[in-house]
Amino acid sequence: MNQTLLTKEIAEKILAGEIDDFRSFTDITEDAAQTLTKFENELLLGGLTSLSDAAAEALSNYEGYYICLSGLMSLSDAAAEALSNYNGWISLGGLTTLSDAAAEALSKHKDKLELWGLTSLSDAAVEALSKHEGDLELDGLTSFSDAAVEALSKHEGALSLGGMKSLSDAAVEVLSKHEGALFLGGLKSLSDAAAEALSKHKGALYLTGLTSLSDAAAEALSKHEGELQFRGLNNLSDVADKALSKQKAKVSLSDKVNTFTVVGASSDEWDFSDCSSTEDIISSLESYIDHLIEHNDIPAVTFIDEAGKKKIAVFASRDGISIEDADDDEAEE
């Protein structure tokens, strides 16, 4: 018997509550997929490494709000076409490549679409995905052509480009036209001109990778009409701090926990700015541990404790939550 194949009989046991964790299965039959469309909780199938076109067609009828297929490293055009009909949030974060036809198919999907594992995309594929109506995660991509940036600026919904470590002022100017939440957590620095461009952006703006900001850039961003979130700005001048405090919407500087770094594939989603103690952070991680593991997004949080005396590292893993004292070098990375 193939213990990694999820069959109809096993699917029926899942529906009956006899099996709670089914992430160890790497393949699924069509009739099992059809049976699981009746599953009432989120469908965590992150262990699957292959998916037939027929099984994908069956899963598209699932009525729940979330399907995780983050273990798939490839997806046929037909399977992409089938999954595009699913009316809910879908994670395909394990995909590293996507054909133009598959991108065109997935552009018809209407909900959150996670493609954070992609490391390359053709301009045609980006153009297609820019038409997707819903949140779009492309955090694995580290560069885009001018044409791709122009296309993404027209996307409707939250857009996550956390893999971008740098952007030209011209590219930022184009992206600032995007309407909706914009995640640029990979940027380590921001020029004054880029800050001025982003000040015109309409929607929440996440610049969680910045470690410094000039007074002029802070003044420009203070004009941004929407939520601003930073995480590593520990050396703001009084002028910059005062400028950002004038921003009308919420500005999160994560000042309750003095400093911390989150490591993970989609870590920009995890906001610990409301945590005021070690216990708060542990509680937050415990609340999402299953979700984090399913997304292969296992974060480590390093911060200075509430007394400001000791650097602490909190790790979330498949075995639960662990706490360790952090070396100076580790905590500053």
| pLDDT tens digit sequence for 174-184 | 999 999 999 99
Q: Judge whether residue 1 has pLDDT over 90.
A: no
Q: Note whether 50 and 90 are same-domain residues.
A: yes
CA-wise closest residue to 140 among 121, 123, 163: 163
Confidence of residue 226 (pLDDT cuts 50, 70, 90): confident
Question: Which of residues 260 and 175 earns the better pLDDT score?
Answer: 175
Strand order across the beta sheet in which 251-252 lies:
43-44, 66-68, 89-91, 113-114, 136-137, 159-160, 182-183, 205-206, 228-229, 251-252
pLDDT at position 23, please? Answer: 84
**Length reported for the chain:** 333
Q: Note whether 117 and 237 are same-domain residues.
A: yes
Q: Note whether 247 and 273 are same-domain residues.
A: no
The DSSP string of 91-117 is E-TT-S---HHHHHHHTT--S-EE-TT
Contacts of 169 (CB under 8 A, 6+ apart): 191, 193, 194, 197
pLDDT at position 64, please? Answer: 92
Q: Note whether 189 and 311 are same-domain residues.
A: no
Number of domains comprising the chain: 2
Domain that holds residue 216: 5-257
pLDDT at position 246, please? Answer: 74
Number of Cβ within 10 Å of residue 56's Cβ equals: 25
pLDDT at position 262, please? Answer: 37
Are 302 and 326 in contact by the 8 Å Cβ rule? The answer is yes
Q: Note whether 248 and 324 are same-domain residues.
A: no
pLDDT at position 230, please? Answer: 84
Q: Note whether 56 and 179 are same-domain residues.
A: yes
Q: Note whether 205 and 179 are same-domain residues.
A: yes
Q: Note whether 268 and 195 are same-domain residues.
A: no
- 214, 237, 257 — which closes off a domain? 257
pLDDT at position 324, please? Answer: 52
- 257, 276, 294 — which closes off a domain? 257
Q: Note whether 201 and 230 are same-domain residues.
A: yes
pLDDT at position 2, please? Answer: 55
pLDDT at position 225, please? Answer: 87
pLDDT at position 332, please? Answer: 36
Q: What CATH code is carried by the domain that includes residue 21?
A: 3.80.10.10
Handedness of CA 232, 237, 241, 244 (dihedral sign): negative
Q: Note whether 298 and 224 are same-domain residues.
A: no
Q: At residue 330, what are phi and psi to the nearest 5 degrees?
A: -65, -40
Of 49-58, 67-76, 130-139, 206-215, the range with the lowest mean pLDDT is: 206-215
Q: Note whether 313 and 236 are same-domain residues.
A: no
Q: What mean pLDDT comes out for the span 265-270?
A: 39
- 233, 257, 281 — which closes off a domain? 257
- Angstrom distance (rounded) from CA 197 to CA 218: 12
Q: Note whether 242 and 208 are same-domain residues.
A: yes
Mind listing the pLDDT tens digit for each residue in 274-311? 555 556 666 665 555 555 444 444 444 444 444 444 44
Q: What is the pTM of this model?
A: 0.76
pLDDT at position 129, please? Answer: 97
Contacts of 9 (CB under 8 A, 6+ apart): none
